[in-house]
Structure 1
Amino acid sequence: MRILPAAMLTAALITFGLAGCGSGDDTTASGVTPAPSATASTLTIKDPWVKAADAGVMTAAFGVLVNDTDADITVTAAESAASPMELHEMTMKDGKMVMQPKAGGFVIKAKATHELSPGGDHLMLMKPAQAIEAGDEIAFSLKLSDGTAVAFTAIAKPFVGAGESYDPGMQMPASGTPMGSTKP
């Protein structure tokens, strides 16, 4: 298993330094406890994972954003040492499902969740510098509208799904034809 050194060290220091703030019940599928932000705006990510991909090939990270506070939380950006990143959504344009940057970020309502999933909202890794292989642990930081950040680690998984592609200009016909398919 490869780990991105600087990003992992930062995530580990944040996670272990703030571990006493959690309820002890918020471990993720990868066994990593999400780190709360400095202002204790309790945003966590459950079951985080990233689609394995070759170096330079766009891919995405997924999971469920959980807001346990009494106020809405907005994720305005995502960062990772593995790749430049953007927040993306899927939306209908001219009768086709297309991927595009998410204007305004992801709003997670108070006491609610927001799913990041293949074919839906996701954290886009635009051009990973090195291959992301199954089993790799990738460190991320979510930037919030209040200026704080939430660090988490996602495990890479091989995933074919609906054959989705995260290439620029990727479209999915409204008929439900899998992304990346050339058949009508």
Structure 2
Amino acid sequence: MRDNLLRRGPRHTLVALTLAGALTTLGLAGCGSTTPAPAAPAAATLSIRDPWVKAAAAGEMTAAFGTLVNDTDAAITVTAAESPASPMELHEMSMKDGKMVMQPKQGGFTIEARGTHELGPGGDHLMLMKPVKAIEPGDALTFTLRTATGGTVTFTAIAKPFAGANESYDPGHMAPMESAAP
């Protein structure tokens, strides 16, 4: 065919090659799968439900609370928390020598697959070590949680007054745990 086109002249060769290219392009497009590419799965996430912060004076240790919610099919470990309001640590309450003490949470908070983890007064919490200014009721504070896999979750929590379990977040001090119910 090529020799036949060359004998007819450059004009016929150009038309034939252009037509061949177009047919090849259409043919290749037609050879592709007609099944659409699978959609990316919906993003599975870690979130926090009902976040709040205990109001406190400037420089006074306080904490943030809420419920960590893992919507993934694998456990997630929160290894750190950050806030522009204060340096932070992950803390837990535990029994030591017969009394309740607050201490850094070694290894972080693990939220099982499709599970939740409660952060609350008298239990695990996000510790604001030394707020740079007073945290007044109604203030909105921004937090970022860091996970063991390098992911981050940012959320906002509203400050509220809370006497609750009469806990104290002063270093080395823990008031006896009492019920807030009458």
* Same fold, judged at TM 0.5 (above): yes
Please tell me whether the aligned partners of residues 96 and 172 of structure 1 are also in contact (alpha carbons under 8 angstroms).
no
Q: Does 1:43 align with 2:49?
A: no
Q: Quote the sequence identity (%).
A: 72
Please tell me whether the aligned partners of residues 167 and 174 of structure 2 are also in contact (alpha carbons under 8 angstroms).
no
TM-score (normalised: structure 1) = 0.72
Please tell me whether the aligned partners of residues 89 and 99 of structure 1 are also in contact (alpha carbons under 8 angstroms).
yes
Matches within 5 A, 1:63-102: 63-102=66-105
The residue identity in structure 2 corresponding to 1:161 is G
- Structure 1, unaligned runs of 5 or more: 1-22, 24-39, 179-184
Residue in structure 1 matching 2:113, options 96, 99, 110: 110
Q: CA deviation at 1:58?
A: 0.2
Write the deviation string for residues 108-165 of structure 1: whole angstroms up to 9, x where unpaired: 0001000000000000000000000000000000000001110000000011112211
Structure with higher RCO (Cα < 8 A, 6+ apart): 1
Looking at structure 1, the residues matched to 168 and 117 of structure 2 have their Cα atoms a distance apart, in angstroms, of 22
Please tell me whether the aligned partners of residues 80 and 108 of structure 2 are also in contact (alpha carbons under 8 angstroms).
yes
Aligned length: 138
Q: Equivalent residue for 1:155?
A: 158
- Structure 2, unaligned runs of 5 or more: 1-41
Query: Which segments of structure 1 move beyond 6 Å, counting only runs of 4 or more?
Result: none
Looking at structure 1, the residues matched to 114 and 77 of structure 2 have their Cα atoms a distance apart, in angstroms, of 13
TM-score (normalised: structure 2) = 0.73
Q: Equivalent residue for 2:64?
A: 61
* Distance 1:172-1:54 versus aligned 2 partners, 3 A rule: closer
SS of the equivalent of 1:171 reads coil
The structure that is helix-richer by fraction is 2
Looking at structure 2, the residues matched to 74 and 41 of structure 1 have their Cα atoms a distance apart, in angstroms, of 15
Write the deviation string for residues 8-41 of structure 1: whole angstroms up to 9, x where unpaired: xxxxxxxxxxxxxxx9xxxxxxxxxxxxxxxx45
Write the deviation string for residues 44-71 of structure 1: whole angstroms up to 9, x where unpaired: 0000000000000000000000001110
Looking at structure 2, the residues matched to 65 and 171 of structure 1 have their Cα atoms a distance apart, in angstroms, of 25
Higher mean C-alpha deviation, range 79-88 or range 162-171: 162-171
Larger radius of gyration: 2
Q: CA deviation at 1:170?
A: 2.1
Looking at structure 1, the residues matched to 69 and 130 of structure 2 have their Cα atoms a distance apart, in angstroms, of 27
Please tell me whether the aligned partners of residues 89 and 104 of structure 2 are also in contact (alpha carbons under 8 angstroms).
yes
Q: CA deviation at 1:100?
A: 0.1
Q: Equivalent residue for 2:148?
A: 145
Q: Does 1:166 align with 2:169?
A: yes
